[in-house]
Amino acid sequence: MAEFLDGKTISQKIKEGLKKEVEEFKKNGIVPKLAVIMIGDDPSSKIYVRNKSIACEQLGIEYEEYLLEENTTMKELLELIDKLNKDSSVNGILLQSPIPKGLDINEAFKSIDPKKDVDGFNPINVGKLCLGQDSFISCTPYGIIKLLEEYGIQIEGKDAVVVGRSNIVGKPMMQCLLNKNATVTICHSKTIKLERVTKKADILVVAVGKPKFITADMVKEGAIVVDVGINREEDGKICGDVDFEEVSKVAAYITPVPGGVGPMTIAMLMNNIVKAAKMQN
Ligand code: NAP
C-alpha cells in the first residue's frame, strides 16, 4: 500500500517558517502585500481565491482583492495591472485564471511586472525557469518538487512522466523535473497509447482535469504518483485525476486529493510573496 505524500502537513510546516520571516519583516516596518485580481464569478476560482486570502491572513501578509465584472475590457485590466505594478506597497500580483474568453490572458500575464509575478506566469519568469536561472516558479510545480524533496524522494536520474501540457501546470512541471535532472516525457491528448508511456514512469505527475483518469493498470509497481487534478464528482465530493483507491495498491507514494498538491500550491504562493517582498526591499 502506497505511503501518502501529505501536502497538508508539509505545507503547514512551510507556512510556519514563512510566518516567522513575515514577523521579522514587520519589525523593520515592512508588511508584504498580495494583490489578487479576479474577473467574473467562476465558482471554483472563488474557492481558490478565498483559500489564498486565508493563508495570507494566517501569515500576516496583507491581502487586497480586485473583483472585476465579467464584461471588463482588456484596457481596464491592463490599467489595473499597471497601477498595481507602480504601487510600491504591493509586492505580489496574482491574476486568477480562468478569465473571460474575450480577454487575452497571455497579454495580461506579460504585463505583470516580473518582480511582482508571484505566480511565475510572466514570459520572463517562464524563460528564466527554462534557462535554470533564479525566478518565480509557478506555484503548483514548485510545490510538487518541494513535497518530493521533503519526503527525501530522489528526482535525479528518474524517469518522470507528466500527463498534461498546460502553461500553468504541465509545462513548468516538465521544466522543474528536468532542472532536477530527471529524464522527462510529457503527454497530452494526442499521445497514442498513453498507458505505454505512463507505465514507464518512476515519477508520474497527472494534470488532466478528468476524474480518476489514471487507473492502476497504467502505473508501474512502486511508482511515485502525484495527482494535480481537482474534480467535483456528481455527489459533490472532490476527487483527483488518479483512481486513488486502486492506484494506491500499486504505487509506492501517492498524493491524496484533497490534502496533497492543493495546499502545497498555496504554501509556495506564500513563499513567492515573501521572496518578492525580500527582493523589493
Ligand atoms: P488544462 O489546461 O485543461 O490542461 C489539461 C491537459 O490535459 C491538456 O494538456 C490536455 O492535452 C491534457 N489531456 C486532456 N485529455 C487527455 C487525454 N485523454 N490524455 C492525455 N492528456 C490529456 O488543465 P490544467 O489547468 O493543467 O489543470 C489540470 C487539473 O489540475 C485540473 O483538474 C485543475 O483543476 C487542476 N489544478 C490543480 C491545481 C492545484 O493546486 N492542485 C492547480 C492548477 C490546476 P492537450 O494540450 O492536447 O489539450
The confidence score (pLDDT) of residue 184 equals 99
CA dist 10 and 160 (Å) reads: 22
The confidence score (pLDDT) of residue 144 equals 99
Closest CA to ligand 1's atom 2: 166
Closest CA to ligand 1's atom 19: 189
| CB-based burial label for 130 (10 Å; 0-12, 13-18, 19+) | middle
The confidence score (pLDDT) of residue 96 equals 98
Residue 54 in domain: yes
CB atoms within 10 A of CB 6: 18
Residue 76 in domain: yes
CATH number assigned to the domain comprising residue 175: 3.40.50.720
The confidence score (pLDDT) of residue 7 equals 98
CB atoms within 10 A of CB 136: 29
The confidence score (pLDDT) of residue 245 equals 97
What CA–CA distances, in Å, run from 49 to 54, 86, 198? 9, 23, 32
Number of domains in the chain: 2
Half-sphere exposure for 117 (CA within 13 Å, toward CB): 20
User: Measuring from each residue's beta carbon to the nearest atom of ligand 1, which residues come in under 6 Å?
Assistant: 140, 163-166, 168-170, 187-191, 194, 207-209, 228-231, 261-262, 265
The confidence score (pLDDT) of residue 266 equals 98
Residues 84-117: pLDDT tens digits? Answer: 999 999 999 999 999 999 999 999 999 999 999 9
The confidence score (pLDDT) of residue 12 equals 98
CA dist 260 and 258 (Å) reads: 6
CB atoms within 10 A of CB 189: 9
Q: At what angle do helices 139-150 and 7-27 cross, to 10 degrees?
A: 110
Q: Are residues 107 and 165 in the same domain?
A: no
CA dist 177 and 142 (Å) reads: 10
The confidence score (pLDDT) of residue 18 equals 98
Mark whether 52 is an active-site residue: yes
SS3 content of the chain, % helix, strand, coil (to 5): 45, 15, 40
Q: Write out residues in the chain with pLDDT < 50, as ranges.
A: none
The confidence score (pLDDT) of residue 183 equals 99
Q: Are residues 169 and 225 in the same domain?
A: yes
Q: Are residues 59 and 163 in the same domain?
A: no
**C-alpha cell of residue 215:** 487507473
What type of residue sits at position 19?
K
Residue 196 in domain: yes
CATH number assigned to the domain comprising residue 57: 3.40.50.10860
Domain residue limits at 50: 29-114
Separation of CA 119 and ligand 1 centre (Å): 17
Mark whether 87 is an active-site residue: no
